[in-house]
Amino acid sequence: MKGLIYKDYIICRKMLAMAYFYCFFFAVMAMLVRISMICGNLADNKEVLDSLTRNIWLLRYVPCVAFMAASCMQSTYSDKNCGWLRFCFTTSVGEKRIIGAKMLFDIAQMTTAYVISILYLLIFLIAEGGMPKFSHFRYITACYFLFLSFSFLITLLSVICKKKQTVDMIMVGIASAIMLSIMPALLNKMESLEGNQDIDVLDFISGEISIIKSWLLPGAFVLAVVMGVSCYIFSVKVLKRREN
Amino acid sequence: MDFQNTVEIKNLTKKYDGFTLDNISFNVPKGSIMGFIGQNGAGKTTTIKLMLNLLRKDSGTIKIFGMDNEENEMEIKYRISAVFDELPFHEMINANQLSLILSDVFDEWDKRTFNDYLDRFSLPRKKRFGEFSKGMKMKLQIAAALSHGARLLVMDEATTGLDPVVRNEILDIFLEYLQDENNSILLSSHITTDLERIADTVTFIDKGKILLSQGKDETVENHGLIKCRKNEYKDIDKSDIISARLTDFGAEVMVSDRKKAAEKYSGLTIDHTTLEEIMLFYVRREKGEWK
């Protein structure tokens, strides 16, 4: 299993490096804002800067996890394009091992993103002089499970669909649906703002999901487990059919 | 397990829309190299995919190392190496990384043997495969195929598109591999000159049917090419002819029994032939006469 996971790591490492660079970039930006706030002329605009810092970390950890999901996609696409799967079928590597390695890699990537996000959150909340709230961890953890389900889904789709374009279309469809469901409410909120009021993205998202707030975390966890098990079973069945 | 033939295929059938692999049978004797010849679309790759269980057969039996290829799939694949015309490894990895990955894929991966082949083929260890030439990619596949103690090499058009120098180098490696009597090679190709050099047996396949499967020397020795004038051609018994190429000056006629033809048509010149000519005349057998 170690070699197969290592192979996925090599294929995805550029994408991963981009994700970490993205995190690092926003971390530096957030720090500059914080330094400006403490030392510079912006010290008077505390409210605006607090909001800005919070929005920056939100912008940072979500794309971080999203990049991880994208890199899962890259590894499965590469396998198809270069004939790696066909090569594996000519060896004694079975379907279970192929899918198992792929899913373990997904979990390892997502967990790394999750740990980094949590560390960022801790550092920035402590730097702000506040204490981390349980709700923040709950959101990130829920986000972790949701993206994990998403990456399992990508693995499954890439195994089922013979054409890369089909998977792309489905992914774009899902992303568009999510955006379309959030955008109208966000636009309404922005139109209702007055003067130099600002939107706190975290508060906004919390408000939007307030109905499902209480069961967001357990729901996301259950979804990840169900998705993981069903994708594994289904992928193994599909791979057994091979080129028939 | 004791077996005489590394591969035994009997009455194998697979139907597609527009193509049927029709009840084919042939063997690859242990310790030999078999050339699997046929034009593009003849059914070579389908047969190989069926052997490797990449496709499910409709009927017939495939035994490899004396075992059924479906019931004992994992045991068989443990001792098989398949090489295709395209590199199956990702282009962003290098030979060192590949060695680490394949040590997980093959239980008997031999890093030292792999490195020896890399040195022998002058393949760089830290260069990404995306920067390799076609010849280098093929050498890499062969180096990987020979580094885990496989007893059967299955090569599907592996030498196609390579220059003669690289092809010769690879053929030499195959001959070395066959020094061990337990090893066998199934070499699918339409480059008949390669097979003439190294094959022990040849199997011709055309439109999903096996036309002949026998020793290479026997095949080349038995067949003959009669070169004659048009009026002489008319006197040749049609049942002796595989097919005939008509030229402006006369005809070239392929016969499957050269000795018999020499006795029967003593006044005509009967030349020795090559695998390429045999393939050409067999492929056009349905036409009978062609230009």
Q: Which residues of B touch A (CB under 8 A)?
A: 49, 52-56, 74-75, 77-78, 80-82, 84, 86-93, 97, 100-107, 154
Q: Taking the CB of residue A239, how many other CB atoms lie within 10 A of it?
A: 18
- To the nearest whole angstrom, how far is the Cα of A92 from the nearest Cα of chain B? 5
- Give the 3-state DSSP-derived string for B190-235, with helices as H, strands as E and coil as C: CCHHHHHHHCCEEEEEECCEEEEEEEHHHHHHHCEEEEECHHHHHC
Please indicate, yes or no, whether residues B98 and B130 belong to a single structural domain of this protein: yes
Residue B115 C-beta-side C-alpha neighbours within 13 Å: 8
In degrees and rounded to multiples of 5, residue A99 shows phi and psi of: -70, -40
Residues B31 and B182: their CA atoms lie apart, in Å, by 5
Q: Which residues of B touch A88 (CB under 8 A)?
A: 105
Question: Which tokens in the block code for residue A172?
Answer: 């774009």
Chain A residue whose CA is closest to B153: A90
Please indicate, yes or no, whether residues B76 and B196 belong to a single structural domain of this protein: yes
pTM of the model: 0.80
State the pLDDT confidence band at A45, using cuts at 50, 70 and 90. Answer: low
Which of B215, B241, B268 is a domain's end point? B215
**Residues 6 or more apart in contact with residue A167 via CB below 8 angstroms:** A73, A77, A154, A157, A158, A161
Contact A84 B89 (CB under 8 A): yes
Please indicate, yes or no, whether residues B90 and B210 belong to a single structural domain of this protein: yes
Q: Which residues of A touch B80 (CB under 8 A)?
A: 90-91
pLDDT of residue A68: 65
Residues B66 and B6: their CA atoms lie apart, in Å, by 7
For chains A and B, count residue pairs whose Cβ atoms are closer than 8 Å: 79
Please indicate, yes or no, whether residues B129 and B184 belong to a single structural domain of this protein: yes
Is residue B188 pLDDT above 50, yes or no?
A: yes
Q: Which residues of B touch A100 (CB under 8 A)?
A: none
**Residues 6 or more apart in contact with residue B42 via CB below 8 angstroms:** B205, B206, B207, B208
**DSSP codes joined into one string, A189-203:** HHHT--TT----HHH
pLDDT in tens, B102-160: 998 898 899 999 999 999 888 999 999 999 988 899 889 999 999 998 999 999 888 77
Min mean pLDDT across A153-167, A213-227, B2-16 is at A153-167
Q: Which residues of A touch B86 (CB under 8 A)?
A: 82-83
Please indicate, yes or no, whether residues B162 and B269 belong to a single structural domain of this protein: no
Please indicate, yes or no, whether residues B248 and B196 belong to a single structural domain of this protein: no
Contact B97 A1 (CB under 8 A): no
Chain B residue whose CA is closest to A242: B54
Residues 17-76 on A with a CB inside 8 Å of B are none
Most confident of A187-196, A235-244, B262-271: B262-271
State the pLDDT confidence band at A140, using cuts at 50, 70 and 90. Answer: confident
A214 to A7, A27, A118: CA distances (angstroms) = 40, 30, 20
Please indicate, yes or no, whether residues B92 and B137 belong to a single structural domain of this protein: yes
Task: Provide the domain count of chain B.
Answer: 2
Question: Average pLDDT of chain A?
Answer: 74
Domain map (residue ranges) of chain A: 2-241
Could you list the residue range(s) of the whole structural domain that residue B232 is in? Answer: 223-290
Please indicate, yes or no, whether residues B136 and B239 belong to a single structural domain of this protein: no
pLDDT in tens, B224-265: 998 888 888 888 888 888 888 888 888 888 988 888 888 888
Closest by Cα among A86, A234, A226, A241 to A155 = A234
Q: Which residues of B touch A244 (CB under 8 A)?
A: 55-56
Domain with residue B117: its CATH number is: 3.40.50.300
B178 to B78, B146, B161, B167, B183: CA distances (angstroms) = 19, 11, 24, 17, 6
Residues A94 and A87: their CA atoms lie apart, in Å, by 11
Question: Average pLDDT of chain B?
Answer: 89
Residues A15 and B185: their CA atoms lie apart, in Å, by 41
Which of B199, B215, B231 is a domain's end point? B215
A2 to A6, A9, A166, B65: CA distances (angstroms) = 6, 10, 30, 30
**Location of structure tokens 């690859």:** B28
pLDDT in tens, A74-117: 777 777 778 888 888 888 888 888 888 888 888 888 888 788 77
Chain A residue whose CA is closest to B94: A10
Please indicate, yes or no, whether residues B156 and B255 belong to a single structural domain of this protein: no
Please indicate, yes or no, whether residues B160 and B83 belong to a single structural domain of this protein: yes
Which of B215, B232, B249 is a domain's end point? B215
Question: Which tokens in the block code for residue A117?
Answer: 């996000």
pLDDT of residue A244: 46
Please indicate, yes or no, whether residues B133 and B258 belong to a single structural domain of this protein: no
Please indicate, yes or no, whether residues B240 and B165 belong to a single structural domain of this protein: no
pLDDT of residue A8: 86
Contact A3 B52 (CB under 8 A): no
Contact A86 B54 (CB under 8 A): yes
Residues A175 and A134: their CA atoms lie apart, in Å, by 28
pLDDT of residue A13: 83
- To the nearest whole angstrom, how far is the Cα of B241 from the nearest Cα of chain A? 40
Q: Which of B52, B90, B105 is opposite residue A11, by nearest beta carbon?
A: B90
Closest by Cα among A62, A63, A149 to A103 = A149
Over residues A191-211, mean pLDDT: 59
